Amino acid sequence: MNAVLRLAALSAWSRRLTLGLTLVAIVLATTLLLAVERIRVDARQSFSQSVSGVDLVVGARTGAVQLMLYAVFHSGAASNNIGWNSYQAIAGHPAVDWAVPLSLGDSHRGFAVLGTRADYFRHFRFGEHEALRFTAGEPFASVFEAVVGSEVAARLGYAVGQEITLSHGIGETGMGEHGDKPFRVVGILAATGTPVDRTVHVGLEAITALHLDWVGGMPMPGLNIPPQLVAKFDLQPKEITAALIGLKQRSDVFRMQRFINEFRGEPLLAVLPGVALDELWQAIGTVERTLLAISALVVVVGLAGLTATLLAGLNERRRELAILRALGAGPRDLFLMLTAEGLLVTTLGALLGLALTSLGSSLAAPWLLERFGVVLGARLPGAGELELLGLVIATGLIASLIPGWRAWRMSLADGLTPRI
């Protein structure tokens, strides 16, 4: 067997140019397949860990997916708001350890603006219960102070001390500029790979202050309340968009969820973040399955090219194979040699594809985190990647059996007297 493997390696090396091109195709195909799998797994993990340590997300009664979209991902708009009295009743429940209100609806140059309280930076968790960290500055302490996410700061070139203005409404331009009430950036958050990176955080009272001289989504004609006078008004909000709830005991989560869903003050909905995020991922799971299927097809095409290359070379190698037969090699040896040659190229291509995937992941990780919020962790290949790698090698083995079988069928006479 060792002699057959050595002979297969020498034979492959003698045709290194032809097989080298096939090897490159297999390497690239395997890299694509493993890269899609790694990004799929890490993207799902980043997605499911966009918020952790939160027992319930509360909003107006709507769908669980829609609630998570606007409360956690700041995408879309709420169908209705929560009354401030209802929020206080929930926050004051004996089972509640902490509650953080969220107010959405404004934007800054395409980035969402989140009105909340300073407790948000203390209680919010992401990933494996990781706390938010500041790369510069500190949480807001007064009305017209803002904390920006890492992506906001990087894309817009913001630093602590810079003044910014917010826009009314969601989108690149919003529906009107709150230019008379500028904010000062007092803090920049570290990258998290979550929607926090793409958010401008301000105090809950700031949202009220911005709209003191607005009505019905439009500024009131002839009325302008300057920033220095807003403190004379009651800035307690009348309503909020959603709330994050942390409980004293996890065992109370279903009892508290039922209490909120049956709340008599107004129709509310409480969802478990993990369950809702899984439901949301399933809704978009078709995309990842499609990408994985396309990558698998690319691998099949690459292995088909290997089979075609080996089969095409058989006609040129008939005399070589016949001489091996004449020197004592049996049909079984020729079959093993051709099969081992294809398996060797496939295995080498798969391993090189794995190495290229690991190298590419480490190089692309900062870019993916900045652009798409996907955290690619530095880790050993996962079970899914090893399974795909095994399938690639197994498929390559099956593909190599075809030229091996063809070599076994060739007769000694056919090799010594090739047809013209």
Q: Is the pLDDT of residue 113 over 90?
A: yes
pLDDT band at 245 (very low <50, low <70, confident <90, very high): very high
pLDDT for the residue numbered 33: 81
Structure token pair of residue 100? 């953080």
Q: Report, in angstroms and rounded to the nearest whole number, the Rg of the chain calculated over CA atoms.
A: 31
Q: How far apart are the C-alpha atoms of 54 and 129, rounded to whole Å?
A: 10
Q: How far apart are the C-alpha atoms of 2 and 244, rounded to whole Å?
A: 65
Half-sphere exposure of 351 (CA within 13 A, CB side): 6
Q: Which residue has the tokens 């099969």?
A: 339
Which range, 78-87, 299-308, 327-336, 386-395, has the best average confidence (pLDDT)?
A: 78-87
Q: How far apart are the C-alpha atoms of 37 and 92, rounded to whole Å?
A: 45
Q: Which residue has the higher pLDDT, 101 or 342?
A: 101
CA distances from 220 to 149, 177, 212, 216 (A): 32, 13, 9, 9
Q: Which residue has the higher pLDDT, 112 or 297?
A: 112
Nearest to 268 by CA among 94, 67, 76: 67
pLDDT for the residue numbered 90: 94
Dihedral sign for Cα atoms in the order 49, 52, 56, 58:
negative
Q: Judge if pTM exceeds 0.75.
A: no
Domain ranges of the chain: 2-47+285-416, 56-271
- Range scoring the smallest mean pLDDT among 123-127, 244-248, 380-384: 380-384
Q: What is the DSSP secondary-structure string of 44-100?
A: HHHHHTSSBS--EEEEESS-HHHHHHHHTS--S--SS-EEHHHHHHHHTSTTEEEEE
Question: What is the residue type of 385?
Answer: E
pLDDT digits (tens, 9 = 90+) for 215-230: 766 677 767 788 888 8
pLDDT for the residue numbered 6: 66
pLDDT for the residue numbered 188: 96
Q: How far apart are the C-alpha atoms of 113 and 170, rounded to whole Å?
A: 9
Average pLDDT, integer, range 29-44? 79
Average pLDDT, integer, range 231-254? 91
Please state, for a pLDDT cut of 90, what percent of the chain lies above it.
30
pLDDT for the residue numbered 13: 65
Structure token pair of residue 242? 């959603």
pLDDT for the residue numbered 119: 92
Q: How far apart are the C-alpha atoms of 140 and 302, rounded to whole Å?
A: 56
Specify whether the CB–CB gap between 373 and 193 falls below 8 A: yes
pLDDT band at 311 (very low <50, low <70, confident <90, very high): low
